[in-house]
Structure 1
Amino acid sequence: MKKIFLSTILLCIAITAFPQKENFSISLHSGLFREDFDWSIAGNMEGKAPNVLSELKWRNLKGIQYNISSSYFLTPRISINGDFTYGKISSGEVNDSDYIEDNRAQSIYDESFLSNKGYFQNLNLNLVVKKDLGRKITLNALIGYDNLVQKLYLVEDPNQPTTENLNSYYKHYWNGLQMGFDLKYLIEKFSVSAKIRSGYYSYYANANWNLIPNFNKPVSFEHKGNAYKYGGSLHLSYLVNRHLEINSTFNITYGATLSGKDYAYFTDNSTATTKFNGGELKSKYAQLGINLTF
């Protein structure tokens, strides 16, 4: 990934050395992210017996992310934008809890594990319409496709012998339509942008619980439902010249799944279905980068 970023930067710098019609831009960023994620299931499809049977909570997932974004201007006011982010998890922890009474009473299992590997990737494809609100203010409205994939692990801890050979994972997918607005204010060579995004998604997840002998592998259970996600970011930029801009971004995102279904698959070929109570995603990141226009 680092080699790809470096090669792209050198290529773009070479291209901008020649005068051209400016109808294409590319942005490269790198930064740090932090995230929490959790989900739970009930004991039956009615959401009872108990209302929270099992719950997983990932906390303080951290790592480095890389982002590449490009825009092609169909007209001075209409463009197509593509954005891809990849993040690699390097540290974090996860708690797994089971209960036999409603409202998380009478815990029968409560263990914490490492979650120091995994990844996420986020792809956006948008149609963007630009409108000038004044000499210094620009408003962009967008609509498009949003796809988020994340693989979260529970792994063995060398300091806990009971976790030996643990290498389970939960992989979830968000696919849907998003809308958003970008408001940009120019101050000579500086600019400040506020961005908001929201969307509605289909949610799917599968898991491999590698140390539970009666669960099937590689798919031990699945989650299906719908979800929503929204977020906001602050973007600061400095225009070096007409081709090159240096910028920074701080972003906060929240996502939640609505109730759905949990399908558990066992080695005797039986399937158990119960209520998926839903999940919750909280993430934030800060990154630095450049934007090249040519």
Structure 2
Amino acid sequence: MGNKLVGRLGAALMIVAGVAVFAPVAAAEEANWTAVALEVPADVFSVRVNGTDGVDKIVGSYDGFGEGGQIRPGVVWHGTALTVLGEAFDDLTDLTAINGGGVAVGSHASIDEQSQAVKWTGGHYEDLPAPAGSASVATSVNERGDIVGTADGQVILWPVSAPGTYRLLPMPYPTFATGVSIGNGGTVAAGVLEPVGSGPNRAFRWDSAGQPHELRRVEQNYGHSVLTIENGTIAGSANLLGAVIWKAGGKIQRFLPGIQLYGMNANGDLLARGDEGGSWFVEENGVRTDLPTTFLPSYPTTLFTNGTVAGYSYDETTFEQTAVVWQRT
């Protein structure tokens, strides 16, 4: 995300790629946050909180030890209550995204093998097809069940309308994609690395015909990345500059200088932090609400539609992190 502070989140009229972009005033607002621990078994040593359905479900995994050594089952929290889905095909499993229908996606792999994209549906795991010998990961699923991810770094789509099939989307460069996400309308977005020696990441969207189009750049010579798509709006960053919100067609809707973006919900609310540190915050309708200083995650974190944050708390004495849901009270 962005690293060089251009300006605190506030009133800023900027000319970005020839377009005037206004970052509205975000007045600080005090709030009391309560960290409610997510259920995990007592003997785990690592917990991943990766994504939500926006309402009340969270997906991820945890690491522990079993009779055969390390275990990593995929899990779902409904509220804070834990459901262990288990390991996909007896492999280490991590789930990264879930939709409102309970379809969860991610990948599994043994320690010495390549990753295999997988989905949880109908009470069981199913491998997602991919080119033979490729390392595949599913990263996003929309409400109708379309899934996207990567296969050897290439953008791959598993359409719900054609179960058991996949489609490799054309890449703008013969490199690899990151942050691959799909919206409910079927728009796919990702960051794609320029060929070695020619430049940094660029942010792209793929239209309904599967063709890539670059999202508008904040500055021509800076890298751009994609975080997520929500309600047709694409969120990401102009690296070293700040956070960017793009309209579905690729035009810049908003630029937030000096801000690192970590989450956006269906309302367009943001989970973010200044790139020189300071408090993490949730921004709703231009109003910033700081999270406690004990919110200091080293793993992914995500934002519910109601502004609740799924992530971690940090013990400043023991330096331990606990998977929690941060609720405003």
Q: Give TM class, smaller chain.
A: under 0.3
Q: Which has the higher helix share?
A: 1
TM-score (norm 2): 0.21
Q: Tell me the TM-score normalised to structure 1 length.
A: 0.23
Structure exhibiting the larger radius of gyration computed from Cα positions: 1
Please identify which structure carries the higher strand content. 1
